């Protein structure tokens, strides 16, 4: 599900543009049917962290698209066959990183993981590409584009960036292996990443564009400007050994010549960066997740902002917003918090998809918002994890971990999953535990070179 939340103006578009199957019937169920209380569990924090990581991994392991072994766009427990062969490019990048965590922690066998990853990368090599970029959706059977919209039938640079972030981590994890199949996998990931023509997507201007279509050229005309989920696109574009962008593209595009800076405060907490369309407050939490599965924000600064402060304060403000609960929703509290884009519910009972945030708060909590913020708000994120698994396991936990969204106010939960929501949980929790993916990505020589080129400094990595 594309999260084009560059401005709050797009929120209505997203909510009303769900693909077939996101209808009222069957897309949500009441919770706590008999009115009784659930017998609580007493898992320790360590047990809870392992449980949610193993559960969310299942989305990319047990419920992957069967031919490509990449991530399905969605998995609905109430309609498992829906979109069974629709591969999501960005979610697949998150899936690559999730599987690396599975290998590292022994949740999956190394040999089977290598086999699955090799199948996936071979598929990507043969899939349709547009100046090196993949489309938002790919047919998992034949590798052809599945249009996301009429003009969105070509390269999607942002989804491609999320995928490339995963490819670089795969390359780095296996690059020194003595096993021939693992070394070949690393080399394949490297070749795929290096084939992306980032500079094509500038149109010769000092800004990156999201889409290009062989039929419609750049007609979608969506520029990437901070702050939102697209920072990683600029980092990788600068890091490319073959198709790099100039620093001016970053300065004038992403950073808006310094306009990315914000002096706004929320709940006594500096917002730090202008969140697109948020009018001085913060956007949906995924803006501080998608680019930061590999990119370590701690002590990471450019000429304008400190991204450690941007991301941590984003989560802190989101938590305080839910505690304050200005709209008076039932169920918002220190244990049940977090707004981001996900499946949703309207006040009239219809369902869809929405970019939940303080200025678009519909009474819906999305578990990935808090769980994927664990590196930023560990105490507050653990509160939600305990609430889900120890207090409400039978209501909110399904075959691949926490369901996508719920509303206590409306006594509603959707028994469904989206790749881009499940896909940030495992990597970000692992980064909280031991900085695993951050270390892989940030120590990649080309990534470090790209960051330096753009004027970044990192206290964690010595540049």
As a whole-number percent, the residues of the chain with pLDDT over 90 amount to 91
| pLDDT digit string, tens, across residues 48-98 | 999 999 999 999 999 999 999 999 999 999 999 999 999 999 999 999 999
| pLDDT digit string, tens, across residues 403-445 | 999 999 999 999 999 999 999 999 999 999 999 999 999 999 9
pLDDT of residue 10: 33
Rounded to an integer, the average pLDDT of 20-45 is 56
pLDDT beyond 70 at 30: no
Task: Identify the weakest region by mean pLDDT among 20-34, 188-202, 336-350.
Answer: 20-34
pTM of the model: 0.93
Tell me the pLDDT band of 392, cut-offs 50, 70 and 90.
very high
| pLDDT digit string, tens, across residues 322-335 | 999 999 999 999 99
pLDDT of residue 346: 87
Tell me the pLDDT band of 6, cut-offs 50, 70 and 90.
very low
Tell me the pLDDT band of 28, cut-offs 50, 70 and 90.
low
pLDDT of residue 38: 82
Rg, the chain, Cα only: 20
pLDDT of residue 348: 87
Report d(CA 17, CA 237) in Å as an integer. 30
- Which distant-in-sequence residues (6+ apart) come within 8 Å of 223 by Cβ? 207, 208, 209, 210, 253
Average pLDDT, rounded, for the chain = 93
Question: Given the structure tokens 């969105």, which residue do they identify?
Answer: 152
Tell me the pLDDT band of 347, cut-offs 50, 70 and 90.
confident
| pLDDT digit string, tens, across residues 85-139 | 999 999 999 999 999 999 999 999 999 999 999 999 999 999 999 999 999 999 9
| pLDDT digit string, tens, across residues 155-208 | 999 999 999 999 999 999 999 999 999 999 999 999 999 999 999 999 999 999
| pLDDT digit string, tens, across residues 248-304 | 999 999 999 999 999 999 999 999 999 999 999 999 999 999 999 999 999 999 999
pLDDT of residue 35: 37
Domain-wise residue ranges, the chain: 9-26+39-446
As a whole-number percent, the residues of the chain with pLDDT over 70 amount to 92
pLDDT of residue 29: 52
Pick the CATH number of 9-26+39-446 from 3.30.2320.30, 1.10.150.130, 3.90.15.10, 1.50.10.140: 1.50.10.140
| pLDDT digit string, tens, across residues 363-384 | 999 999 999 999 999 999 999 9
Report d(CA 109, CA 412) in Å as an integer. 37
């Amino acid at each position: 599900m594309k999260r084009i939340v560059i401005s709050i103006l797009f929120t209505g578009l997203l909510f009303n543009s769900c693909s077939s199957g996101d209808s009222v019937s069957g897309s949500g169920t009441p919770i706590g049917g008999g009115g009784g209380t659930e017998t609580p569990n007493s898992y320790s924090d360590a047990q809870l962290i392992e449980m949610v990581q193993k559960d969310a991994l299942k989305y990319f392991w047990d419920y992957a698209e069967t031919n490509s072994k990449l991530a399905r766009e969605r998995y609905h427990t109430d309609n498992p066959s829906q979109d069974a062969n629709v591969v999501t490019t960005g979610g697949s990048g998150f899936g690559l990183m999730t599987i690396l965590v599975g290998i590292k922690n022994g949740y999956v066998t190394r040999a089977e993981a290598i086999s699955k990853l090799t199948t996936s990368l071979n598929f990507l090599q043969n899939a349709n590409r547009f100046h090196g970029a993949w489309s938002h959706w790919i047919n998992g059977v034949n590798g052809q584009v599945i249009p996301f919209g009429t003009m969105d039938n070509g390269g999607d640079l942002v989804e491609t960036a999320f995928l490339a972030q995963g490819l670089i981590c795969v390359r780095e994890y296996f690059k020194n292996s003595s096993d021939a199949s693992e070394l070949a996998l690393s080399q394949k990931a490297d070749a795929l990443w290096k084939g992306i023509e980032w500079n094509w997507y500038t149109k010769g201007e000092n800004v990156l564009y999201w889409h290009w279509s062989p039929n419609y050229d750049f007609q979608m005309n969506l520029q990437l400007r901070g702050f939102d989920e697209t920072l990683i696109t600029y980092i990788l574009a600068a890091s490319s050994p073959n198709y790099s962008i100039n620093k001016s593209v970053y300065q004038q595009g992403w950073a808006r010549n310094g306009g990315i800076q914000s002096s706004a405060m929320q709940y006594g907490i500096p917002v730090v960066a202008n969140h697109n369309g948020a009018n001085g407050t913060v956007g949906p939490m995924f803006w501080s997740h998608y680019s930061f599965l590999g990119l370590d924000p701690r002590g990471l600064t450019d000429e304008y902002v400190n991204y450690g402060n941007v991301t941590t304060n984003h989560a802190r403000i989101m938590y305080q917003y839910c505690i304050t609960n200005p709209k008076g929703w039932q169920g918002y509290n220190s244990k049940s918090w977090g707004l981001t884009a996900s499946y949703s519910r309207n006040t009239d009972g219809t369902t869809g998809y929405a970019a939940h945030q303080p200025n678009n708060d519909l009474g819906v909590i999305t578990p990935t918002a808090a769980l994927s913020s664990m590196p930023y708000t560990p105490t507050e994120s653990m509160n939600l994890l305990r609430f889900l698994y120890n207090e409400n396991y039978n209501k909110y936990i399904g075959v691949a971990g926490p369901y996508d969204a719920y509303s206590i106010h409306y006594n509603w939960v959707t028994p469904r999953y989206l790749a881009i929501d499940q896909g940030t949980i495992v990597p970000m929790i692992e980064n909280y535990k031991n900085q695993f993916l951050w270390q892989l990505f940030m120590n990649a020589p080309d990534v470090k070179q790209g960051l330096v080129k753009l004027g970044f400094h990192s206290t964690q990595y010595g540049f």
